[in-house]
A = this chain, B = another copy of it.
């Protein structure tokens, strides 16, 4: 993987850049649609490429490990071959899913994590080394270190100990990753993850430790887990001052359109979130005019396009009234249209951000957009 910064914004820490992988390039800042089980929910691969213009998608190690399972993925030749997505893929490490499984008998120890499958209740064990091996089999271009994602709120003592364990786990991840090779002939790279909850000294410490590993890119985890947005921005701001400028920075699991624009201003290059697809299935649309609950009565006879401000076919072809009807009738096409729309919007948003950074107009544009995009239509 190679990363090159192309433009920097004079009025914020925002920058544009280019990540080169063996599956093609990624222009940053970028939003990465989440394809939990090897599919971005309700979206065809062709739509991801041609309509949404996604440049990289996510896969979830926890889900893919359980189903279809590593034997199938390895026989297929990795996730790209399995699902037909030939552009870059990033896989998470399962750390976040393990965090989500709290209260189901999950046990976190120094050696690793024992947890139960949400599918059949069977018991499994993830260690830092094991998770590297699993991600070698899945075959993401960018893979993530195994970390503990602390909840919010989190006591200082727990946050510190957890962070320290995450750092020890990182050493184990790097050792295993560096001692093994890609299975499918293209290169993979490992991103470590900054933790430390909402404690400034822990975040500073973690960022310093993570930076010292000198990997090709770095991630910030443990945010967007329920803390106020201002606290998330404060932590990201601290951390991006420490993480090396010449490497991509990935803010995991973030977020709303406003979160993403603020994150870009703080020097973040990569984002992912289930929000555009999950909210789509509930009828919440993010548009160039604000946020819309398409199930609302007010759209029932509105025959204007879903979002005339976006390119592509999906959001300009279908009308608000038709999409509302589909949602009210629980038709699958409703989820399909809304999912493609929201992702098209997210990719449009980061594309616009890139243009404004290039033109030196990012800061002023961002401040207007953050207000506009949160307005209820």
> Residues on A close to B: CB < 8 A?
37-39, 41-46, 67-68, 71-72, 75-76, 81-84, 300-301, 303, 313-314, 317-319, 321-322, 325-326, 328-329, 331-333, 335-337
Contact = CB atoms under 8 A, between A and B. Distances in A.
A313 to B, nearest CB: 6
Contact of A332 (B38, B83, B328, B335): B335
B328 A72 contact: no
A44 B75 CA distance: 32
A30 B131 CA distance: 53
A301 B72 contact: yes
B45 A325 contact: no
Given A42-B336, A68-B321, A84-B322, 10 more contacts: A38-B322, A39-B331, A44-B314, A72-B325, A76-B303, A81-B303, A82-B325, A84-B318, A332-B332, A332-B335
Contact of A82 (B313, B321, B335): B321
A83 B68 CA distance: 36
A67 B295 CA distance: 13
Contact of A76 (B68, B317, B321): B321
Nearest to A340: B44
Nearest to A303: B76
A78 B38 CA distance: 39
Nearest to A81: B303
A75 B332 contact: no
A68 B333 contact: no
Contact of A300 (B42, B72, B84, B321): B72
10 contacts: A37-B331, A38-B326, A41-B332, A44-B333, A67-B325, A68-B321, A82-B321, A84-B318, A332-B335, A336-B336
A84 B317 contact: yes
A223 B332 CA distance: 29
B44 A336 contact: yes
Among all A-B residue pairs, the 4 with the closest Cβ atoms: A42-B332, A68-B325, A39-B333, A37-B329
A82 B313 CA distance: 16
B68 A38 contact: no
Contact of A303 (B39, B75, B313, B314): B75
A58 to B, nearest CB: 15
A325 B38 contact: yes
A1 B335 CA distance: 36
B84 A45 contact: no
A300 B68 contact: yes
Nearest to A64: B325
A318 B321 CA distance: 32
Contacts of A44: 314, 333, 336-337
Contact of A313 (B46, B326, B333): B46
A337 B84 CA distance: 13
A79 to B, nearest CB: 10
A75 to B, nearest CB: 5
A83 B303 CA distance: 10
A333 B328 CA distance: 20
A80 to B, nearest CB: 12
A333 to B, nearest CB: 4
B322 A332 contact: no
Contact of A42 (B314, B329, B333): B333
